[in-house]
Every structure is written in C-alpha cells, then in structure tokens.
Amino acid sequence: MHPSANPNKLTVILLSSAIALALLTAACGEEETATAPAAAPPAPTAAPEPAPEPTPEPAPEPTPSPEPTPAPEPEPAPVEEAAPPEIDIEIGADELFAAFIADKDAALAEYTGQTARISGMIRENFSAGRGGFIMVVGGDYVNGVICNLGAEDYESQKDRQPGEPITITGTIIDYVYDVSIENCQVAA
C-alpha cells in the first residue's frame, strides 16, 4: 500500500522530514524559516592562486680568506723580587729581649718599628694553627723573640731543631711577654 493511502502515515513522514530539515539547518547555523526553502546561494568561486614569486639566485659563496696568524702573546714583564728590607739594627736575640726586660718603655721607644737582623738559637719551632707559623728564638726559658712565619716560609724551616743557630729579619712591633717580630723571614 502506498503511504499516501494512509493519512496518518503521510503526516508522520512529513513531520519527520520537517524535523530532519530543521536539524540540518540548525547544524549549519542557519535560521529555520516558515517559508519555503530559498535557493542556495551560489558557491563562492575560488580566487586564482597567485603565481609563485621567482626565487632569487643564491649569491656565490665568498672565497674563504686565509685565517690570520695569531700575534704572539707578549712576554710578561719580569717580576722583580722584592729587595730585602733595609736593616736598621743588628742585634742578638738575648740582647734584644734583655733590653725589654730591663726597661720596657725605653726599649719600645728605641726598637718599635725598626727593621732588625736578629741572631740567636732556636728554642721552639711549632705551628701556630692560624694560617701562619711561629719560631721562637733567644730569651729565657718561657719567653723570647717570636718570629711569625707565613705558611710557605715555615714549610721550608719546619725541620729546624732547637739549639740550632738562626738569623731572622723583620720589624719589631711590640713586647707582651715576648718581643714580636712582624714580616719575619729567615735570613740566608
């Protein structure tokens, strides 16, 4: 039997077609109209593609220039060794220590700031543990002349034994139980 023979069936088909058309229109983003569907707008024509721009010919590669010869590094200026300090006085460690014991104020006035060459016997040779090292020469059983040596200087002198003769140079700076010598070096 043909669908037009049954009016209910025809209504269902028309209603289904209208719903399908409405869904399609909504999916495409167009509004549903009650009027008959308008003819579809003409499809836009694609603009012709522009012709490709001509690619320029690559520039010829430059010929490599020879690498410059590096200039020789300048020789460092010769380092002049520091001249040994000018000696103001030469004195024995026992004599220097005795001057401070006899009259501290007079000895401070006479010797402080003086660069001295001091000779005596090593009494102790030990590490101070503060980045420098100390060698004690001359004096009495407890006190004497203290020569504070830097780490490098001490390294070359650490095997020296008590009782060995020694000559040091340095600046006399103070007396507190010992006569303190600054910038101390063992004389050659």
pTM over 0.85: no
Could you report the per-residue pLDDT of 118-136, keeping only the tens digit for each?
Answer: 999 988 887 777 556 677 7
Rounded alpha-carbon distances, angstroms, from residue 39 to 16, 17, 36, 42, 44: 22, 18, 9, 9, 15
- 172-176 contacts at long range (C-beta below 8 A, 24 or more positions apart): 172/96, 172/111, 172/112, 172/113, 172/114, 172/116, 173/112, 173/113, 174/108, 174/112, 175/100, 175/104, 175/107, 175/108
Q: Per-domain residue ranges for the chain?
A: 1-36, 89-186
Could you report the per-residue pLDDT of 152-180, keeping only the tens digit for each?
Answer: 788 888 888 888 999 999 999 999 989 99
CATH homologous superfamily, domain 89-186: Nucleic acid-binding proteins (2.40.50.140)
